[in-house]
Amino acid sequence: MQDWLGSAGFDRLDDEDHWGRQWAEAYVRFATETKRDYLRDLGLRVLPIVGWAERGSGSATGHGNSVPRFHLTWGTGPEVVRVFAEPVLEGERKGLVRFGFRHQVDELVTEEADGETRVVGVRGSLLAPDDALARGVKSSREVVAAFEVRAAAVVVTSGGIGHNHELIRQNWPAERLGPAPEHMISGVPAHVDGRMLGISESAGARIVNRDRMWAYTEGIHNWDPVWPDHAIRIIPGPSSLWFDANGDRLAPPNFPGFDSIGTMKAILATGHDYSWFVLTQKIIEKEFALSGSEQNPDITGKDIKFMLQSRLAKGAPGPVEKFKEHGEDFVVADNLDDLVAGMNKIARGPQLSVDKLRHQIEARDRELDNAFSKDLQLMAIANARRSRTDKLIRVAPPHRILDEAHGPLIAVRLNILTRKTLGGLETNLDSQVMRADGTPFPGLYAAGEVAGFGGGGVHGYNALEGTFLGGCIFSGRAAGLALAT
Ligand SMILES: Cc1cc2nc3c(=O)[nH]c(=O)nc-3n(C[C@H](O)[C@H](O)[C@H](O)COP(=O)(O)OP(=O)(O)OC[C@H]3O[C@@H](n4cnc5c(N)ncnc54)[C@H](O)[C@@H]3O)c2cc1C
């Protein structure tokens, strides 16, 4: 709870954080006491190795994880979907459930009864079938008919705003983070358009914490996109050197995997919307994980032999090597002069000086001459290697970046990647959507990302990571339980 509250930084307790704060406590209790057994009973398994994300801002009361707690599902996203989809498919076979594929909701249907407005259904557009889609292409939005469905209750589970760059820019907290990035890449599919937020608001629902979002600073363009603008996030280990667009090393604690929002602020403060990792082949082999089921075929395919081969053998996992080879953000070179020349070819801002980079990298490398370095990143690496699993599979042994034995050198241009929406429809602990007057909106429920993962913002300003699907499950379960009673 200390980690959660330190990260969330709830500061609108009398207003927009009223329910989010209560959801935080309820979720942490669920995660501590119930979640494991609940998911195990559904057939979901996690890998026995627990990862460590968002180490934080460097203070006990502030943002970050004090222990490793990032669980990887055995089977990744498709497996999470499977355990929930199977009972629903069974319900469909029994005639209890009807799916409405290609049904796009455009409006909530409301009716007045006993002097109160109640949600009684949805209206929308039936979109033309579009089954033969090529990779990277948005499905057709051609409307072929209209539909209306009525029900005792409506549960909105339409996700966040991550692919709607216009809405992100509109909500971007410039006073807190700096100007919205000019160049953004999309970490979520095109259907994550945020339309249902506006539709629900027009019907009378309250949206809170619009200005809180969880974008990443380690985004790379996908050389083989699944959806338009498709980008991938590097989930980095702690050793890469991180430079801003001017070639200045980011100040502590803005190290890879530490403090997403703090680092975002530091990057945007330069007036540019990108930054650079500089690392070695030895670091990429152990420390680059790519987010997404397709980027982790061994775990997605539940193939233990393949997983051990790809994670423990020499060389980076196949998908990482492919990015190194084909990715437009990657530069690989045998020496620093060539590396910086390559970086300057793809820089969207200032040309970098080789001497300036060399000076900083050599100074960091020199700190390896003794075991008591004053370089905080090297101290953090030593700390990370005290965790046995991190030492085994996640953190490269410290070495000189400019030592050719560990090369080639690699630079990665890191872009701002949109992903999660931390605010959304305000809900009470039964997932009932609230109205502006603080009362529940009869007939309307919301769960998942559209509800800020619970309450309209269970994470506050910062996430501990790996907590998003948990919040979707918990808030969906709360809606289900409330509707069943
Ligand atoms: C690549 C990637 C990696 C991730 N990794 C992790 C992770 O490791 N851990 C973690 O906790 N979280 C992770 N997340 C986040 C997590 O997957 C999402 O937060 C979660 O899936 C959101 O679920 P949701 O059901 O609320 O919304 P979504 O999964 O976005 O589903 C919304 C659905 O609503 C439909 N919809 C939207 N609008 C309408 C409309 N008007 N009418 C009809 N239908 C509509 C959409 O088509 C979609 O099917 C990741 C996300 C991505 C993209």
Task: Find out whether the beta carbon of 449 lies less than 6 Å from any atom of ligand 1.
Answer: yes
In percent, the amount of the chain with pLDDT more than 90 equals 86
Q: Which atom of ligand 1 is nearest to the CA of 188?
A: 53
| pTM metric for this prediction | 0.95
Q: Judge if 309 and 431 occupy the same domain.
A: no
Query: Does 249 share its domain with 297?
Result: yes
Task: Please identify, by atom number, the ligand 1 atom nearest to the C-alpha of residue 293.
Answer: 1
pLDDT digits (tens, 9 = 90+) for 71-88: 999 999 999 999 999 999
What is the pLDDT, as a whole number, of residue 411?
98
The answer on 270 and 359 residing in a single domain is: yes
Same domain? For 27 and 174 the reply is yes
74 domain-assigned: no
CA gap 168, 188 in Å, rounded: 13
- Residue at 331 is within a domain: yes
In a domain, 394, yes or no: yes
pLDDT of residue 310: 76
CATH (domain of 168): 3.50.50.60
Confidence of residue 279 (pLDDT cuts 50, 70, 90): very high
Confidence of residue 477 (pLDDT cuts 50, 70, 90): very high
Stretch 88-117: mean pLDDT: 96
Pocket test for ligand 1, best of 80, 167, 191 (most atoms within 8 A of CB): 191
- The predicted pLDDT at position 403 comes to 97
What is d(CA 315, CA 258) in angstroms, rounded to the nearest whole number? Answer: 25
Name the residue range of residue 170's domain.
2-33+100-183+192-212+422-484
Tokens of 44: 């979901």
Is the domain of 405 the same as that of 288? yes
Looking at residue 186, its pLDDT comes to 95
59 domain-assigned: no
Q: Are residues 247 and 377 in the same domain?
A: yes
CA 302–ligand 1 middle distance (angstroms): 22
- 136 CA → ligand 1 middle, Å: 17
**198 and 239 inside one domain:** no
Number of domains present in the structure of the chain: 2
* Alpha helices (H) in 44-152, listed in sequence order: 76-93
Instruction: Please state the three-class secondary structure of 222-290 as a single string.
Output: CCCCCCCCEEEEEEECCCCEEEECCCCECCCCCCCCCCHHHHHHHHHCCCCCEEEEEEEHHHHHHHEEE
Q: Which helix (H) or strand (E) holds 429?
A: none
Structural domain ending residue among the three candidates 364, 391, 416: 416
CATH number assigned to the domain comprising residue 293:
3.90.700
Output the CA angle 51-52-54, nearest 5 degrees. 140
Nearest CA to ligand 1 atom 36: 158
Domain co-membership, 208 together with 221: no
Is residue 123 over pLDDT 90? yes
Considering only CA atoms, which of 325, 241, 246, 333 is closest in space to residue 283? 241
Q: Does residue 334 share a domain with residue 208? A: no
The CA–CA distances, whole Å, from 283 to 241, 287, 428 equal: 10, 6, 45
Name the DSSP letter for residue 144: E
- Count Cβ atoms within 10 A of the Cβ of residue 351 and give its class: 0-12 exposed, 13-18 middle, 19 or more buried: exposed
One domain for residues 338 and 475 = no
Q: Is residue 63 part of a domain?
A: no
337 and 442 share one domain: no
Q: Where is the domain boundary, 416, 445, 464? A: 416
Regarding the beta carbon of 157 and ligand 1, being less than 6 Å apart is answered yes
Distance CA 307, CA 18 (A): 44
- Residue having the nearest C-alpha atom to atom 44 of ligand 1: 104
Question: In this predicted structure, what is the pLDDT of residue 341?
Answer: 98
- Ligand 1 centroid–CA 320 distance in Å is 24
Distances (CA, A) of 267 to 235, 333, 415: 17, 25, 10
Ligand 1 pocket: which of 39, 126, 138, 158 to mutate (most atoms within 8 A of CB): 158
Looking at 416, 433, 456, the residue that finishes a domain is 416
Distance from C-alpha of 281 to C-alpha of 332, rounded to nearest angstrom: 9
In a domain, 458, yes or no: yes
For residue 320, tell me if it sits in a domain: yes
Report if residue 81 sits inside a domain.
no
Mean pLDDT of the chain: 95
Statement to judge: residues 390 and 302 lie in one domain = yes
pLDDT tens, 160-192?
Answer: 999 999 999 999 999 999 999 999 999 999 999
Looking at 6-10, 55-59, 301-305, which range is the least confident one? 301-305
Q: What percent of the chain has pLDDT over 70?
A: 100
